[in-house]
Structure 1
């Protein structure tokens, strides 16, 4: 390799190393930012409990903190998986280097034994016993090249041994880092479990307070309007995209019969086991006796139940709303959308294509209990999910 090529290689390795360091630094900053945000909510909760302010806002803080904890755990898992891949790669490299060094040493040992058996004067004898000047020159060049080869072999062994030492140091650092990541992940998982348990206990106390129940109804009314506004926004965005496609291609997009529309009365349920406790439309609150409007259905389920997409579609929106916790909107063909709310955890991302029956999240625990709120929309029109879901 020429000098320019060698310098180029060094520069490439240096840039790659700096990029890797920047990535590690960025990841650490992201994790630290998550920890700071978690601490903010922890302090708010502690202050509220100290002042004995058991309001709905404290539940909001719990939900936000738990979401951040889940995100932190997810990031720690991701880093641990990347670290695991790096560890496996290093172990393979170390094994290959050790095998190459072993072969080189064995080859060199055979050569040394051969020299010992033949004696030190063998090379000189080989030259002096040449039958002609030409043969002497050929043998001299051969011995010179062979001597250079021996030197390169020794140099290669030393270089590979140094490289092997570096790889082993990298492996030790990676293994130490892996232990720390796993230990931190386990600590955060324990924190999340403790937080969920504490939230449940506070929810039980809040449920007994009529004032909080009334506040929850008001929050729910506002949340319903926000979902309606979000659906309208998604419809408008979709309309603009279609118009742009038509304008660019100068063709009219043909209207086809929706596959989703064919599922009316046969739509699979978003949860495996559950019963509807709040129906579509106007409902009378069992305690407050006030009339509320429900744009979907509330399905009572066992805690932490898997929540599934009812049909193929695209995840259009993921967000959080007071009284509805984590919420997913999936867009289906024919202008249909489904809404899944009161989720404790989410397993999909915005823009992701999902299949019918795919687990998209996990049910959460709210003031109304362990429920999943489910809605169906056709454009801006709310649909009664009970007319769509298959009979049980």
Structure 2
């Protein structure tokens, strides 16, 4: 908690605003996906999960809004204190300047200046008096400029303070509306949970069946990977079946891919991760373990899968229950794009980073447009969240 609060304090308003906009964009994506599936007879489990994504994102949005409002409070207090200080300084400057003008006015005649010079007891004293009059004139001019500068600074601070108070009120008003939507979502989710708990056995069976289907598809992908390794190795005279035999060019490509860990682009233009990598208990039916060898990304209808890095299309296969899978090789790394309903490439094609591979299909159980994305090094599973930028 201490580390988190220090990190928040160190964030600038620009950083918080960027984070707020990113979360709002995520919520907009979730809402868009929910709208496209509302009329498709989703199960209570799917509705609960959709609300859970939105609730978590909304809670993060409220947190960032609070952080930004608190930061504005500190800035407003700081600027209000500066304004008080500048007002006092400006008053003192004006008082000093007024006294100087009055003194200058009393002695402004040429006669008094000449008398001031002629009354000198020596040439050196006369010279020093000339220098004094010049310095006095320069100082008077400097004081006038400083009064104008302080006045301008005070005007700017007042303008900034007005904008900060306006921005703070806007954020607080948005937060009140966001909290109201959060309460509504939580109430709806609570009603869904009550409904699910009444039929927990039924949903447990449904989840078990889904996990069996996922495991079957994962086994088929594992088989396709070994098959791809064997085919590629045969081309270079190797009979290895678990690891790619790399040419110098393939080694260079693999090294380049590895150097981009954490910087690879998303395989879709926009979307949300609806299932993360690894094993975890189901959020509602805790007795069921959910295992995922990759990530599931819900995206817009007719969304397009894009290559995350340059490489070669190694395999294209039709898997029953998963539409078409496209496998792209990057040296001894593989990126896998599963659940495509239309494919724009063919085996052996060279593809570039960001190139369109195919149109993503509908997930029959959720009614959403879902890409199943996986990464492997040879036959070893990799967590895409560690490789894709900000996943």
TM-score for both structures, normalised by structure 2: 0.47
TM-score for both structures, normalised by structure 1: 0.47
Query: Greater relative contact order: 1 or 2 (C-alpha under 8 angstroms, separation 6 or more)?
Result: 2
